[in-house]
Amino acid sequence: MIEIENLRKVYDNKYEALKSINLTINNSELVCLLGPSGCGKTTILNIIAGLLDPTSGDIKFDGKSIIGMHPKDRDIGLVFQNYALYPHMSVIDNIMFPLVVGSNKLPKAEAKKRAQEYMKITKIESLEDKKPGTMSGGQQQRVAITRALVQNPKILLLDEPLSNLDARLRLQIREEIRSLVKRINITTIFVTHDQEEALSISDRIVLMDQGIVQQFDRPQNLYLEPANLFVAKFMGNPIINTFEMLKQDNTLVSQDFSLDLKKFDKDRFKCDLDGDKFIVGIRPEYFVLSHTPLFKTKVTVKELIGKDCILNFEVNNQAAKIIVDTNSNIEEGQELAISVEYENIYLFNLEGKRIY
Ligand code: ATP
């Protein structure tokens, strides 16, 4: 188990990159650190790896603090975005390298045998004699992961490992990584800024913004039960539609449509509706075409994404999107009559706190 307690990092220029992070990661869990550029993902990973010292706070592996411990003694395998392979060495020599250096080094024959065992697990036996420069990005990343695993670490840390790969290969390698780490049962922390990648491979996701954990939860909960407006906007593609609305008695009012507060489920309110302005969030997939619409508008742009298509329109003088079945054959310029089920509406206050 990895316990991160009140972890803070203030860089030399006084920038506070981490503001009291608390996380508990269970053994064998695959956790993604997710968030926009600069939110502090790599800072956390580097502190766990021992490449960076925290300003305060603690990190424990199985109850024992590792702060101050040398990176080599932390039992961690680290994989970087740029693979960091030695270009003049063959694949097998790259993978054996961590086994034949340092104080606990193995005899060469034993190291080679171990490297070959792991190459079987990661299915790269055929690359044994190749040099990194002659391999594709995907192959190099598999070698880098094998080199991290060959030391049989307790924890695997991956920093944006798929960033340099093309879109299709990213999909393939991310599935491979998930199935590999689950097969060998290793606790894994995977840094990414790609919400779709995090949703597809994680047991749980840590979504961060500006050095703060916004939500640490199972993927479906981040999507369906976002803790706040930041989470609702970060998860999901296309982005959730948001509308500022005014509360007037029992109605939320905006220029082009209103919502009846009596139709909201009372039990789902997380707190009182204090104030008069609120942000209403409706995901594009939760708008529906209806004979009893909330509002009527026109399709401005149609984007085909396969079975479904995204229809762009304007409401309240702002751009919005709805996802419909491609078979509905709606074209640009056509009228849209749009409604929403009340159970699929999110409500936030102006500070972004989730109310409903
Ligand atoms: P990215 O996805 O772009 O790699 P990240 O979420 O991994 O971003 P970090 O690299 O952890 O973000 O950086 C967090 C914040 O700390 C950023 O605002 C960054 O500019 C700042 N930062 C990182 N390293 C230093 C440093 N050595 N000195 C000062 N500020 C730093």
Scanning 235-334, the segments in alpha helix (DSSP H) are none
Range of the domain at 121: 2-234
Residue 157 and residue 16 share a domain: yes
Residue 185, pLDDT above cutoff 90: yes
How far is Cα 17 from Cα 44, in angstroms, rounded to an integer? 9
Q: Is residue 230 part of a domain?
A: yes
How far is Cα 243 from Cα 8, in angstroms, rounded to an integer? 35
Residue 340's pLDDT is what?
96
How far is Cα 215 from Cα 209, in angstroms, rounded to an integer? 10
Q: Is residue 356 part of a domain?
A: no
Residue 126 has what DSSP assignment?
A: G
For residue 19, count CB atoms less than 10 angstroms from its CB and return exposed for 0-12, middle for 13-18, buried for 19 or more. Answer: middle
Residue 41's pLDDT is what?
96
Q: Is residue 353 part of a domain?
A: no
Residue 258 and residue 202 share a domain: no
- Residues 200-231 have pLDDT tens digits of 999 999 999 999 999 999 999 999 999 999 99
* Nearest atom of ligand 1 to the alpha carbon of 33: 6
Average pLDDT over residues 249-262: 96
Residue 192, pLDDT above cutoff 90: yes
Residue 174 and residue 81 share a domain: yes
Q: Is residue 355 part of a domain?
A: no
Residue 229 and residue 251 share a domain: no
Residue 44's pLDDT is what?
97
Residue 121 is encoded by which pair of tokens? 């697990």
* Residue with CA nearest ligand 1 atom 27: 11
Q: Is residue 33 part of a domain?
A: yes
Residue 273, pLDDT above cutoff 90: no
Residue 217 and residue 128 share a domain: yes
- Regarding the beta carbon of 11 and ligand 1, being less than 6 Å apart is answered yes
Confidence category of residue 284, pLDDT binned at 50, 70, 90: very high
CATH number at residue 174: 3.40.50.300
Residue of 8, 43, 208 to mutate, ligand 1, most atoms within 8 A of C-beta: 43
**φ and ψ at 38, to 5 degrees?**
90, 5
CATH number at residue 271: 2.40.50.140
Residue 83's pLDDT is what?
83
Residue 75's pLDDT is what?
92
Confidence category of residue 58, pLDDT binned at 50, 70, 90: very high
CA torsion angle 85 86 90 91 (round to 10): -20
Confidence category of residue 163, pLDDT binned at 50, 70, 90: confident
Residue 275 has what DSSP assignment?
A: S
In this structure, the number of other CB atoms found within 10 A of the CB of residue 103 comes to 5
Write the CB contacts of 68 (distance below 8 Å, at least 6 apart in sequence): none
Residue 253 and residue 219 share a domain: no
- Regarding the beta carbon of 238 and ligand 1, being less than 6 Å apart is answered no
Residue 205 is encoded by which pair of tokens? 């996701």
**293 Cα: distance to centroid of ligand 1 (angstroms):** 46
The DSSP line for 50-95 is TSS--SEEEEEETTEE-TT--GGGG-EEEE-TT----TTS-HHHHH
- Regarding the beta carbon of 327 and ligand 1, being less than 6 Å apart is answered no
Q: Is residue 55 part of a domain?
A: yes
- Regarding the beta carbon of 46 and ligand 1, being less than 6 Å apart is answered no
Final residue of a structural domain among 203, 234, 265: 234
Confidence category of residue 8, pLDDT binned at 50, 70, 90: very high
Average pLDDT over residues 34-40: 96
**30-34/204-209 β-pairing:** parallel
- Regarding the beta carbon of 211 and ligand 1, being less than 6 Å apart is answered no
- Regarding the beta carbon of 43 and ligand 1, being less than 6 Å apart is answered yes
Residue 103, pLDDT above cutoff 80: no
Confidence category of residue 173, pLDDT binned at 50, 70, 90: confident
- Regarding the beta carbon of 38 and ligand 1, being less than 6 Å apart is answered yes
Final residue of a structural domain among 234, 254, 289: 234
Final residue of a structural domain among 234, 250, 281: 234
More confident residue, 168 or 306: 306
How far is Cα 317 from Cα 61, in angstroms, rounded to an integer? 53
Residue 143 is encoded by which pair of tokens? 């070698």
Residue 320 is encoded by which pair of tokens? 């919005």
What is the percent of the chain with per-residue pLDDT over 70, rounded to a whole number?
Answer: 100
Model confidence, pTM: 0.92
Structural domains counted in the chain: 2
Residue 207 and residue 117 share a domain: yes
- Regarding the beta carbon of 193 and ligand 1, being less than 6 Å apart is answered yes
Residue of 7, 39, 44, 195 to mutate, ligand 1, most atoms within 8 A of C-beta: 39
Residue 72's pLDDT is what?
86
